[in-house]
């Protein structure tokens, strides 16, 4: 295949797994990343990396003019819910305005397909779980709103221009490449499984549980943790689906099984064999009580077939990567 697949945020946690999966599938990835969260060394040998912002239309347009692009997979974004509550304008710029620029560049050059990293945060506090894609979107934090606006933009653009898209609403992405080639490297990560494995390896002094008075069985929040390798596989499935000429689609990517924060901590303790300190704290801003995906649409329409639907496996791979990162 001659044309490139443009991966924005390809030096980041999920993007780095994506470039490996694209290479393995015989595709030619090309990465744009501003390296604000991503790492140069996370981009595999031989994959072109352009350092800059997807919100810079001259920069993006120039890359597109010099490289034929078959599709865009757009990961580059800010992803920390409490940070979005404190700095909403940064999220609306980075996640919403910059996506508009990228999509505009794509439309001008007739790039036919976009796979967009959306999020379960678009549902807000859902009326029921597992959540179907047709349930109302009513985000409760700026992060979710910044992403939902991009879904709307894509919907309008796909009606007006020759472009089809897949919006993948990720639930809680975790774990690392099963072969140990990639993982979550950011030392400032805030996500639960990353923090818990760091605590297990003595890289941090235990862990805070944010909220134990939610309306759940043990009072802590419930999430649907999806292995990063299955998540990137869903993007390959989405690309295949769009290239086959199917219409735009919005799909949840999760396993339809939820675990509470306290259950996750138990699994990390059991798999690591380490009993680290756990402090019960008050709620964190912007957290819904429970988010669990209904996933029939991804399975049926995209042909998504999860391979790592097992919390212990996710934790084992996250631990292996954290060990590899060293102190």
Residue positions annotated with a catalytic role = 143
* Among the residue ranges 97-105, 201-209, 242-250, 304-312, the one whose residues contact ligand UFG (CB under 6 A): 201-209
| 233 binding ligand UFG? (CB under 6 A) | no
Per rule CB under 6 A, is residue 190 in the interface with ligand UFG? Answer: yes
Chosen residue from 60, 69, 73, 81 binding ligand UFG by CB under 6 A: 81
- The C-alpha atoms of residue 232 and residue 128 are separated, in whole angstroms, by 27
* Minimum distance of ligand UFG from residue 188's CB (angstroms): 12
Judged by beta carbon, residue 113 or residue 223, the one nearer ligand UFG is: 223
Quick check: 45 and 23 in contact, CB under 8 A?
Answer: no
In angstroms, the first-to-last Cα distance of the chain is 41
| Site stretch for ligand UFG (CB under 6 A), options 26-34, 129-137, 206-214, 241-249 | 206-214
Of residues 4 and 91, the one with the C-beta less far from ligand UFG: 91
Q: Which of 79, 80, 81, 92 is nearest to 285 (CA)?
A: 81
Binding piece for ligand UFG, criterion CB under 6 A, among 6-14, 54-62, 126-134, 208-216: 208-216
185 vs 304: CA distance, rounded Å: 27
Tokens 């894609």 found at:
133
**Binding pattern to ligand UFG, positions 112-151, x when CB under 6 A?**
-------xxx------------------------------
Closest residue to ligand UFG, based on beta-carbon distance: 221
Is residue 108 within the footprint of ligand UFG (CB under 6 A)? no
Nearest CA among 187, 181, 178, 265 for reference residue 230: 178
Q: Is 317 in the site for ligand UFG (CB under 6 A)?
A: no
Nearest-CA neighbor of 117 among 157, 75, 80? 75
Verify binding: residue 322, ligand UFG, rule CB under 6 A.
no
The minimum distance between CB 186 and ligand UFG, in angstroms, equals: 12
Report cis status (omega within 30 of 0) of the bond before 153: no
| Residue ranges in 256-295 that form contacts with ligand UFG under rule CB under 6 A | 261, 284, 287, 291
Residue 162 burial (C-beta neighbours within 10 Å; 0-12, 13-18, 19+): exposed
* Min dist. Cβ of residue 77 to ligand UFG (A): 9
Q: Six-digit token pair at 18? A: 């994506």
How far apart CA 257 and CA 291 sit, in angstroms, is: 9
Cα–Cα nearest to 77, from 86, 62, 90, 60: 90
Q: Rounded CA gap, 79 and 257, in Å?
A: 22
Give Cβ neighbours of residue 104 (< 8 Å, ≥ 6 apart): 57
Stretch that binds ligand UFG, among 57-65, 108-116, 205-213, 307-315 (CB under 6 A): 205-213
Interface with ligand UFG by CB under 6 A: which residues?
79, 81, 119-121, 171-172, 190-192, 195, 207-210, 221, 223, 261, 284, 287, 291
């Amino acid at each position: 295949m001659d044309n490139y697949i443009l991966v924005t945020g390809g030096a980041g946690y999920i993007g780095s797994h994506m470039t490996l999966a694209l290479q393995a599938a015989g595709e030619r990835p090309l990465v744009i990343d501003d390296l604000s969260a991503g790492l140069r060394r996370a981009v595999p040998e031989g994959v072109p990396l352009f350092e800059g912002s997807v919100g810079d239309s001259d920069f993006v347009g120039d890359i597109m003019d010099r490289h034929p692009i078959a599709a865009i997979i757009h990961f580059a974004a800010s992803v920390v819910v409490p940070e979005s509550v404190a700095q909403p304008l940064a999220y609306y710029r980075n996640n919403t305005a910059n996506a508009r620029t990228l999509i505009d560049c794509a439309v001008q050059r007739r790039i036919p397909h976009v796979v967009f990293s959306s999020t379960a945060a678009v549902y807000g506090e859902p009326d029921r779980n597992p959540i179907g894609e047709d349930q109302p979107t009513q985000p409760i934090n700026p992060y979710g709103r910044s992403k939902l606006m991009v879904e709307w933009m894509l919907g309008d653009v796909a009606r007006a221009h020759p472009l089809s898209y897949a919006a993948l609403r990720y639930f809680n992405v975790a774990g690392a490449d099963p072969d140990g080639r990639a993982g979550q490297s950011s030392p400032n990560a805030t996500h639960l499984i990353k923090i818990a494995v760091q605590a297990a390896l003595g890289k941090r002094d235990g862990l805070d549980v944010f909220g134990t008075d939610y309306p759940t069985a043990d009072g802590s929040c419930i999430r649907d943790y999806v292995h990063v390798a299955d998540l990137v596989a869903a993007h390959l499935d989405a690309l295949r689906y769009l290239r086959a000429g199917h219409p735009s689609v919005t799909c949840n990517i999760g396993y339809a099984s939820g675990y509470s924060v306290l259950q996750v901590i138990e699994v990390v303790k059991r798999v690591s064999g380490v009993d680290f300190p756990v402090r019960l704290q008050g709620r964190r801003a912007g957290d819904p009580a429970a988010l669990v995906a209904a996933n029939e649409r991804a399975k049926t329409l995209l042909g998504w077939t999860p391979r790592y639907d097992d919390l212990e496996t996710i934790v084992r791979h996250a631990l292996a990567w954290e060990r590899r990162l060293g102190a």
